[in-house]
Amino acid sequence: MIRITWDTRVVPERCTCGAQLPEDALFCHKCGKPQRELVSVDEPEVVLAPPPIPAAPALAAPQPPIISFRNGPAVRIALGMGVLAFMCLLVVGQLALPQALVLVWLVAAGFLAVFLYRRSTGQRLSVMNGARLGWISGIFGFVIATILLTIFVIALSEPSFVATLREQIKTRSPEVNFDQMIEIVHSPSGISSILGMFFLLFTVLPAFGGAVGAKLLDRD
Protein backbone atom coordinates (compact mmCIF):
# COMPACT_ATOMS: atom_id res chain seq x y z
CA MET A 1 0.00 0.00 0.00
CA ILE A 2 1.24 3.51 -0.87
CA ARG A 3 0.95 6.20 1.84
CA ILE A 4 0.91 9.85 0.73
CA THR A 5 1.53 12.71 3.20
CA TRP A 6 0.31 16.22 2.31
CA ASP A 7 1.16 19.63 3.66
CA THR A 8 -1.15 20.49 6.56
CA ARG A 9 -1.33 24.24 5.86
CA VAL A 10 -4.78 25.85 5.43
CA VAL A 11 -6.19 25.64 1.96
CA PRO A 12 -6.85 29.09 0.36
CA GLU A 13 -10.48 30.07 -0.16
CA ARG A 14 -10.09 30.42 -3.93
CA CYS A 15 -7.90 28.87 -6.57
CA THR A 16 -5.91 30.99 -8.94
CA CYS A 17 -8.54 30.16 -11.56
CA GLY A 18 -11.14 31.91 -9.36
CA ALA A 19 -13.00 28.78 -8.24
CA GLN A 20 -14.32 28.65 -4.63
CA LEU A 21 -12.46 25.90 -2.72
CA PRO A 22 -13.72 23.88 0.28
CA GLU A 23 -11.55 23.85 3.41
CA ASP A 24 -10.18 20.30 2.96
CA ALA A 25 -9.64 20.46 -0.81
CA LEU A 26 -6.48 18.86 -2.14
CA PHE A 27 -7.12 19.82 -5.77
CA CYS A 28 -9.14 22.44 -7.49
CA HIS A 29 -12.40 20.91 -8.68
CA LYS A 30 -12.39 23.22 -11.70
CA CYS A 31 -8.81 23.27 -13.08
CA GLY A 32 -7.30 20.38 -11.12
CA LYS A 33 -4.46 22.42 -9.63
CA PRO A 34 -3.03 20.93 -6.40
CA GLN A 35 -3.79 23.08 -3.37
CA ARG A 36 -1.28 21.45 -1.02
CA GLU A 37 2.30 20.23 -1.53
CA LEU A 38 3.20 16.53 -1.46
CA VAL A 39 5.51 16.01 1.49
CA SER A 40 6.46 12.30 1.19
CA VAL A 41 5.45 9.17 -0.52
CA ASP A 42 6.12 5.83 1.14
CA GLU A 43 6.41 3.03 -1.31
CA PRO A 44 6.25 -0.51 -0.07
CA GLU A 45 9.43 -2.52 -0.29
CA VAL A 46 9.16 -5.01 -3.11
CA VAL A 47 10.77 -8.30 -2.27
CA LEU A 48 11.38 -10.43 -5.31
CA ALA A 49 11.13 -14.12 -4.75
CA PRO A 50 14.24 -16.02 -5.82
CA PRO A 51 13.80 -17.91 -9.06
CA PRO A 52 13.12 -21.59 -8.59
CA ILE A 53 16.19 -23.78 -8.84
CA PRO A 54 15.66 -26.34 -11.56
CA ALA A 55 16.05 -29.89 -10.41
CA ALA A 56 19.21 -31.53 -11.62
CA PRO A 57 18.45 -34.20 -14.21
CA ALA A 58 18.96 -37.70 -12.98
CA LEU A 59 22.14 -39.17 -14.38
CA ALA A 60 21.56 -42.52 -16.00
CA ALA A 61 23.97 -45.24 -15.03
CA PRO A 62 26.53 -45.76 -17.80
CA GLN A 63 25.79 -48.84 -19.82
CA PRO A 64 28.66 -51.32 -20.15
CA PRO A 65 29.97 -51.75 -23.70
CA ILE A 66 28.44 -54.52 -25.77
CA ILE A 67 30.57 -57.60 -26.27
CA SER A 68 31.40 -57.68 -29.97
CA PHE A 69 34.36 -57.63 -32.34
CA ARG A 70 34.48 -53.82 -31.83
CA ASN A 71 35.20 -54.23 -28.12
CA GLY A 72 38.99 -54.14 -27.87
CA PRO A 73 39.47 -55.84 -24.47
CA ALA A 74 36.92 -58.52 -25.37
CA VAL A 75 38.66 -59.28 -28.67
CA ARG A 76 42.11 -59.54 -27.06
CA ILE A 77 40.90 -61.87 -24.33
CA ALA A 78 38.83 -63.95 -26.76
CA LEU A 79 41.84 -64.31 -29.08
CA GLY A 80 43.98 -65.60 -26.24
CA MET A 81 41.31 -68.08 -25.17
CA GLY A 82 40.85 -69.21 -28.76
CA VAL A 83 44.56 -69.94 -29.10
CA LEU A 84 44.59 -71.84 -25.81
CA ALA A 85 41.53 -73.85 -26.84
CA PHE A 86 43.23 -74.93 -30.04
CA MET A 87 46.47 -75.74 -28.22
CA CYS A 88 44.50 -77.96 -25.86
CA LEU A 89 43.11 -79.79 -28.88
CA LEU A 90 46.65 -80.44 -30.13
CA VAL A 91 47.90 -81.57 -26.71
CA VAL A 92 45.05 -84.03 -26.30
CA GLY A 93 45.77 -85.43 -29.77
CA GLN A 94 49.53 -85.70 -29.24
CA LEU A 95 49.35 -87.30 -25.79
CA ALA A 96 46.43 -89.59 -26.63
CA LEU A 97 44.43 -88.24 -23.68
CA PRO A 98 40.68 -88.84 -23.26
CA GLN A 99 38.73 -86.89 -25.88
CA ALA A 100 36.35 -85.66 -23.19
CA LEU A 101 39.11 -83.29 -22.04
CA VAL A 102 38.63 -81.33 -25.25
CA LEU A 103 34.96 -80.75 -24.45
CA VAL A 104 35.73 -79.77 -20.86
CA TRP A 105 38.46 -77.36 -21.90
CA LEU A 106 36.32 -75.68 -24.54
CA VAL A 107 33.67 -74.98 -21.91
CA ALA A 108 36.38 -73.79 -19.52
CA ALA A 109 37.79 -71.46 -22.19
CA GLY A 110 34.50 -69.54 -22.34
CA PHE A 111 34.36 -69.40 -18.54
CA LEU A 112 37.94 -68.13 -18.28
CA ALA A 113 37.28 -65.49 -20.96
CA VAL A 114 34.49 -64.03 -18.82
CA PHE A 115 36.64 -64.20 -15.69
CA LEU A 116 39.58 -62.41 -17.34
CA TYR A 117 37.33 -59.76 -18.90
CA ARG A 118 35.75 -58.92 -15.55
CA ARG A 119 39.14 -58.83 -13.88
CA SER A 120 40.69 -56.52 -16.48
CA THR A 121 37.74 -54.14 -16.95
CA GLY A 122 35.81 -54.45 -13.68
CA GLN A 123 32.56 -54.73 -15.63
CA ARG A 124 29.86 -57.27 -14.96
CA LEU A 125 28.56 -59.28 -17.87
CA SER A 126 25.04 -60.44 -18.49
CA VAL A 127 24.45 -64.05 -19.43
CA MET A 128 23.98 -63.00 -23.06
CA ASN A 129 27.22 -60.99 -23.14
CA GLY A 130 29.05 -63.85 -21.43
CA ALA A 131 27.83 -66.22 -24.14
CA ARG A 132 28.94 -63.74 -26.81
CA LEU A 133 32.42 -63.52 -25.32
CA GLY A 134 32.71 -67.30 -25.23
CA TRP A 135 31.40 -67.51 -28.79
CA ILE A 136 34.00 -65.01 -30.04
CA SER A 137 36.71 -67.04 -28.29
CA GLY A 138 35.49 -70.12 -30.12
CA ILE A 139 35.42 -68.29 -33.45
CA PHE A 140 39.12 -67.47 -33.10
CA GLY A 141 39.87 -71.08 -32.24
CA PHE A 142 37.85 -72.27 -35.25
CA VAL A 143 39.69 -69.88 -37.58
CA ILE A 144 43.06 -71.17 -36.34
CA ALA A 145 41.94 -74.78 -36.76
CA THR A 146 40.66 -74.06 -40.28
CA ILE A 147 43.94 -72.44 -41.32
CA LEU A 148 46.04 -75.33 -40.02
CA LEU A 149 43.71 -77.89 -41.57
CA THR A 150 44.09 -76.13 -44.90
CA ILE A 151 47.88 -76.22 -44.56
CA PHE A 152 47.69 -79.91 -43.65
CA VAL A 153 45.58 -80.75 -46.71
CA ILE A 154 48.03 -78.88 -48.97
CA ALA A 155 50.97 -80.68 -47.36
CA LEU A 156 49.37 -84.05 -48.16
CA SER A 157 50.09 -83.40 -51.83
CA GLU A 158 53.79 -84.02 -51.05
CA PRO A 159 54.62 -87.76 -51.12
CA SER A 160 57.50 -87.34 -48.69
CA PHE A 161 55.22 -85.72 -46.11
CA VAL A 162 52.66 -88.49 -46.54
CA ALA A 163 55.30 -91.18 -46.05
CA THR A 164 56.65 -89.52 -42.89
CA LEU A 165 53.15 -89.08 -41.50
CA ARG A 166 52.28 -92.72 -42.26
CA GLU A 167 55.29 -93.94 -40.28
CA GLN A 168 54.50 -91.70 -37.31
CA ILE A 169 50.89 -92.85 -37.17
CA LYS A 170 51.90 -96.51 -37.36
CA THR A 171 54.29 -96.00 -34.48
CA ARG A 172 51.96 -94.01 -32.20
CA SER A 173 48.51 -95.25 -33.18
CA PRO A 174 48.65 -98.55 -35.05
CA GLU A 175 44.85 -98.91 -34.90
CA VAL A 176 44.30 -95.77 -37.02
CA ASN A 177 43.54 -96.49 -40.67
CA PHE A 178 45.82 -93.98 -42.39
CA ASP A 179 44.49 -94.58 -45.90
CA GLN A 180 40.92 -93.97 -44.75
CA MET A 181 42.00 -90.74 -43.04
CA ILE A 182 43.68 -89.55 -46.23
CA GLU A 183 40.56 -90.38 -48.21
CA ILE A 184 38.36 -88.35 -45.83
CA VAL A 185 40.69 -85.35 -45.96
CA HIS A 186 40.81 -85.40 -49.77
CA SER A 187 37.01 -85.61 -50.03
CA PRO A 188 35.03 -82.31 -50.13
CA SER A 189 32.27 -83.88 -48.06
CA GLY A 190 34.86 -85.12 -45.57
CA ILE A 191 36.41 -81.66 -45.24
CA SER A 192 32.95 -80.12 -44.81
CA SER A 193 32.14 -82.62 -42.06
CA ILE A 194 35.39 -81.87 -40.24
CA LEU A 195 34.87 -78.11 -40.46
CA GLY A 196 31.26 -78.43 -39.33
CA MET A 197 32.32 -80.47 -36.32
CA PHE A 198 35.05 -77.95 -35.50
CA PHE A 199 32.61 -75.05 -35.79
CA LEU A 200 30.11 -76.64 -33.40
CA LEU A 201 32.78 -77.58 -30.88
CA PHE A 202 34.56 -74.22 -30.97
CA THR A 203 31.43 -72.05 -30.77
CA VAL A 204 28.68 -73.84 -28.85
CA LEU A 205 30.82 -75.11 -25.96
CA PRO A 206 32.73 -71.84 -25.26
CA ALA A 207 29.47 -69.88 -25.55
CA PHE A 208 27.92 -72.19 -22.97
CA GLY A 209 30.95 -71.76 -20.71
CA GLY A 210 30.79 -67.98 -21.08
CA ALA A 211 27.09 -67.91 -20.14
CA VAL A 212 27.74 -70.07 -17.09
CA GLY A 213 30.70 -67.91 -16.09
CA ALA A 214 28.67 -64.70 -16.34
CA LYS A 215 25.89 -66.24 -14.25
CA LEU A 216 28.16 -67.56 -11.52
CA LEU A 217 30.54 -64.60 -11.33
CA ASP A 218 27.63 -62.15 -11.14
CA ARG A 219 26.87 -63.44 -7.65
CA ASP A 220 30.00 -61.80 -6.20
When divided into structural domains, the chain yields a total of 2
Highest mean pLDDT among 13-17, 141-145, 176-180: 141-145
Could you tell me if residue 54 is inside a domain?
no
The pLDDT of residue 7 is above 60: no
Nearest to 137 by CA among 207, 184, 187, 88: 207
The pLDDT of residue 188 is above 70: yes
Range of the domain at 15: 1-42
Q: Which residue has the higher pLDDT, 150 or 99?
A: 150
Q: Give the per-residue pLDDT at 90.
A: 78
Could you tell me if residue 5 is inside a domain?
yes
Is the domain of 126 the same as that of 21? Answer: no
Is the domain of 30 the same as that of 80? Answer: no
Band (pLDDT 50/70/90 cuts) for residue 117 is very high
Is the domain of 179 the same as that of 84? Answer: yes
Burial letters for 162-182: b for 16+ Cβ neighbours within 10 Å, e otherwise? eeebeeeeeeeeeeeebeeee
Would you call 157 helix, strand, or coil by DSSP?
A: coil
pLDDT > 90: what percent of the chain?
22
